[in-house]
Amino acid sequence: MMPTCEIIYILLMLSCVLGQRTTCFCDLNIGLCDVNCCCDTEDCSTSDIETFTCLVPLTNADTLHCVYDQVVFVNNIAQTQTVRQNGLFCIEVDNFATRNMYTSPACISSDTCFDDIGQIYFYNVSTNVPQATESFYQSGDIVYTIFNNSNAQSMLILPSSGVSNVCQDNNPVKYLSNESNSCTRSSSDLMTSCNTDYSLDFAFYAEGFKIVPSPSLLNLTGNSEILFNDTELVSISASCTLNNINTTECLSPVYNATTTQCENVVTSATYTIGTNGTNGISSVDLQIDLSMIGEASFPLTQQFAINFVSIQNTGTVLQLSGNPGYLVGRPLLTAVCDSAGVPQSFNSNPNVGVTLVTPTATGLCSASEALTRQAILFGQDQTTGCMTALSTSTCQQIQQEIFATLDGQIFNQNGSVCIGSYGNTTDLTSTADWTQVIKADSESILISVTETNTGCQNMILSSVYEILFANAGNISDPQPKVVGARYSYGNPQFLQFRCIGGNCDRGTNQQRVEISTSVTFIDISETPVSLETQRPTIEAKLPNDFFSPFKDSVPVN
Amino acid sequence: MHLSLGLTFIPPLLIAYRSQGFWMTTNTYMEQPDVTFKKQLMLILNKPQPGEFLAWSTYSNFNSLLDQNSIRIPIVSSVESDVNGDGKFDQLNFTVSIPLESTESITSFGLLLIFDYKLYRMSTLQMETLAYISHSSVSAGSSFVAYGDLRLYQKTPLRHRGVDTRFNTTIVDSADSSASTYDLSTIFSAYSQRNLTTQFLNKYPVWKSGRGAQQPFTIEVIISYPTETITYQPGFWELIKWGWVQYVTILLLFLWVFRKINIAVFSEQLFNTVIVHPKIKRH
């Protein structure tokens, strides 16, 4: 009997009901007649029920599990509904009624029940408080500090921008990972900020706490806590510059009411942390730049950096741009060459060399040295530009000014500029490692500039660096090498003095002209192509007259 | 016999035809496009004051249309990288930094980048496409970063062979000097009519506010060039091949069934049949 029942069960899976409930499912209020609940006979009078549209339970208590031809969802007449149907596919005897019931979970209340469930996801703010577990700092660890106030333990921070560009002060320093951030501080009232905002004060970055040189100090002391006055702790030695001049002592911000400016405001802070292997931190130096800041400088941009230096490294550091091939995004190595292309000296001035013009905040060109020109980074195609106002000068003078803006300082010397072929080119004596930049002659262009009543003819307004590079070395590990560089000017243009409306005076019109510089990197790598030799032909020789019956000319004897 | 032949050869055709397509009208293939950034762009930045904006483009005609206070030349930098070394660029890192005065602020921007888009496998396609990146916020921004894909959007299938340069036309007519040419709505209305376009999709924009005084507004966009599934119209022989494959597979089944039926009918002699014996040699 059992197998038959199971087969029918499968057939009728969709129409099966999951239990024999006899309760009134819509009776949700005891002592109150539930609207439209016709089975709530306890609280509803028969006349109440007559006004109802009866809710029919979606499950019904049919134990026969019949397949229904008609389904009644809402019974809107007073008569009650009785389903009587007995077809072929009804279960007459259900000898396994419990399959319609949920089984109750075996595990009810013990800790292991929860452990056995498996992965559970629940709402919980993860609380990862870093704890000193190792006996020495490893890269990526936070750096511990002890505060003067109540000897509280904390961590060294380096403000950073986060969700917005405004500084987040809780950004922890990670041991041995150099970092450089810039973020902003806002102020609603300069005087209040100057006197109260801790983030403008050098002391926030330098005083009131000491660095824990190694986490073993925190562990070894056990119950006796480490104190601020303990000699093992490393204090921060801060040095300040005020308006780019070294000062003997660091000063806290002071509001100057006469100039309405805030003096001694921190604009940059750079930590240099000396490390000594597993012994941890041996020294902490802090370089702070202080400035006099007016209301207009807010939101104030502050620069923060941290550098970890091993105490083994005492010499000067030379930064490479790749080893050996250039890395994308690293600056081009440049040197001053003589006219023959022989390198003379390294170039470290960011304003000299292969550079692009940087626009000022107003978009105008600036001849000021303070505004550093845009460095050319390997692999980054760039375009920059600025607007220059046409003055009353002659066209040649204007062109000369434009050339100065385009070229920068590189070609003002009696020489040329060379670019290191590889990112690790450090040897000035090996001429082969340097590529001379081929430069267009600006003097001959200057001669061709002619002045007319309506404007200047043959004016150059743009320049472009084209840098050729090719991959060298093994195909699986390509090393980009600079093989050639050219600096050329754009097409000569007719610069017309524009008149709009009645305003057509050349001197006062302040007509502005766009000047642009750009750099493009061109890959001329030649990938080796694997060549296959021609297949050897099979030299199977047949007798001369093998096809002779099919040939046109049958030899006649 | 003729009936049996007809029943064997016609129904497979009908079955193949009625079961959702006998002729394969479209098919797909996958290919990574050969995309190159054309170094052409248009940038429009809106200030919170109504009607005030800053703009710049690589089109000198557009720049000369602008009011002198509205044009602001940015520092543009782009790196196209071939990550897997297959000879095709996989990603563009595009950065633009717009110098701003302390009094200025940016609340929305639109950036138009022009690409050269090539496909080789079926029809050799070359076209000029664009990516439009825009964002707007109520709070003045300091930087914007977005990561996304340059996806192909096809309205009609491609052809299966031949050179396709229908859309290798300039999206922005840089030779024209009239203002309407450089109106974004003009550009988009023509571009959206095309059967083949690309879009900057799957983007994750990050807008950061809190720009410091004298600091520039920066936009960084990282655009991947993903492998695309491209729909095309199969050629004649591909059409015939798949038709044949469908027909013959059903036909083989019918041949087998009707052979069995024929054997049953004729060996059991259900109909009146004349047995033709092989000719007997007469002497």
Rounded CA separation A204/A148 (Å): 12
Is A172 in CB contact (< 8 Å) with chain B?
no
A167, A210: one domain:
yes
Q: Which pLDDT tens digit goes with each residue over A389-410?
A: 777 778 888 888 888 888 887 6
This prediction's pTM = 0.75
B63, B135: one domain:
yes
Assigned domain for B278 exists = no
Rounded CA separation B143/B87 (Å): 32
A436, A377: one domain:
yes
Query: Model confidence at A445, in pLDDT bands (50, 70, 90)?
Result: confident
B11, B137: one domain:
no
CB–CB of A290/A250 below 8 Å? yes
B71, B206: one domain:
yes
CB–CB of B31/B227 below 8 Å? yes
Assigned domain for A218 exists = yes
Assigned domain for B276 exists = no
A263, A394: one domain:
no
| Domain span at B73 | 28-232
CB–CB of A416/A399 below 8 Å? no
Helices B2-18 and B236-268: crossing angle in degrees, nearest 10, is 140
Assigned domain for A12 exists = no
A184, A286: one domain:
yes
A166, A245: one domain:
yes
pLDDT in 10s for each residue of chain B, 283 residues: 677 788 888 888 888 888 877 888 899 999 999 999 999 999 999 999 988 999 999 998 898 888 878 889 999 999 999 988 888 999 999 999 999 998 899 999 999 999 999 999 999 999 999 999 999 999 999 999 999 999 999 999 999 989 999 999 999 988 888 888 899 999 999 999 999 999 999 889 999 998 988 899 999 999 999 999 999 999 999 999 988 998 999 999 989 988 888 888 878 877 777 777 777 666 6
For A311-415, where are the E strands, in sequence order?
334-337, 343-346, 355-356, 374-375, 381-389
In this predicted structure, the answer to whether residue A13 has a pLDDT above a threshold of 50 is no
Chain B nearest-CA residue for A380: B79
Residues of B in contact with A387 (CB under 8 A): 68, 71, 73
DSSP string, B69-128: TTB---EEEEEEE-SS-SSS--EEEEEEEE---TT---SEEEEEEEEEEEE-SSSEEEEE
**How are the residues of chain B apportioned to helix, strand and coil, as percentages rounded to the nearest 5?**
25, 35, 40
Determine the Cα angle at A419 with ends A414 and A420, to 5°: 135
In this predicted structure, the answer to whether residue A282 has a pLDDT above a threshold of 60 is yes
Q: Which of A182, A299, A374 sits opposite B75 (nearest CB)?
A: A374
Assigned domain for B273 exists = no
User: ipTM, 2 decimals?
Assistant: 0.76
The pLDDT of A519-526, averaged and rounded, is 91
Give A272's contacts (C-beta < 8 A, 6+ positions apart): A284, A285, A286, A287, A306, A307, A309
Nearest-CA neighbor of B37 among B89, B90, B115, B111? B115
Assigned domain for A107 exists = no
Which of the listed residues A99, A130, A152 is the one where a domain comes to its end?
A99
B41, B16: one domain:
no
A338, A304: one domain:
no
What are the structure tokens assigned to A523, written together?
Answer: 């890959």
Chain A nearest-CA residue for B71: A363
Assigned domain for B149 exists = yes
Residue B235 CB coordination number (10 Å): 15
Domain count, chain A: 3
Among A328, A373, A384, which would you mutate to test the B interface (most chain B Cβ atoms within 10 Å of its Cβ)?
A384
A514, A463: one domain:
yes
B228, B259: one domain:
no
- Which backbone phi and psi does A129 adopt, to 5 degrees? -90, 115
Assigned domain for A132 exists = no
Cβ contact, residue pair B213, A300, below 8 Å? yes
Surface-to-core class of residue A282, CB atoms within 10 Å of its CB (0-12 exposed, 13-18 middle, 19+ buried)? middle
Assigned domain for B102 exists = yes
Q: What pLDDT is stored for residue A554 in this prediction?
A: 47
Q: Which pLDDT tens digit goes with each residue over A64-80?
A: 667 666 677 776 776 66
Assigned domain for A134 exists = no
B56, B88: one domain:
yes
**A179-185/A167-168 β-pairing:** unpaired
| Domain span at A80 | 32-99
Which of the listed residues A310, A326, A355 is the one where a domain comes to its end?
A310
What are the structure tokens assigned to B215, written together?
Answer: 């600091």
Among A82-86, A97-101, A178-182, A236-240, the minimum mean pLDDT is found in A82-86
CB–CB of A268/A219 below 8 Å? no
In this predicted structure, the answer to whether residue A16 has a pLDDT above a threshold of 50 is no
User: Which CA distances in Å does A99 have to A2, A6, A91, A194?
Assistant: 13, 11, 14, 77
What are the structure tokens assigned to A482, written together?
Answer: 């600079």
Q: Which pLDDT tens digit goes with each residue over B14-53?
A: 888 888 778 888 999 999 999 999 999 999 999 999 889 9
Assigned domain for A256 exists = yes
A271, A341: one domain:
no
Rounded CA separation A257/B18 (Å): 91
Domain count, chain B: 2
Residue A361 distance to chain B (closest CA, Å)? 5
Q: Which of B39, B73, B76 sits opposite A387 (nearest CB)?
A: B73
A506, A444: one domain:
yes
Q: Which pLDDT tens digit goes with each residue over A120-141?
A: 787 877 666 666 667 889 888 8
Rounded CA separation A217/A223 (Å): 12
**A261-275/A300-310 β-pairing:** parallel
In this predicted structure, the answer to whether residue A460 has a pLDDT above a threshold of 50 is yes
Q: What pLDDT is stored for residue B113 in this prediction?
A: 95
Residues of A in contact with B102 (CB under 8 A): 296-297, 361
Rounded CA separation A262/A482 (Å): 49
Q: Which of B75, B78, B101 sits opposite A384 (nearest CB)?
A: B75
What are the structure tokens assigned to A51, written together?
Answer: 């006004």
Rounded CA separation A172/A184 (Å): 18
B103, B210: one domain:
yes
B137, B98: one domain:
yes
Assigned domain for B282 exists = no
B149, B219: one domain:
yes
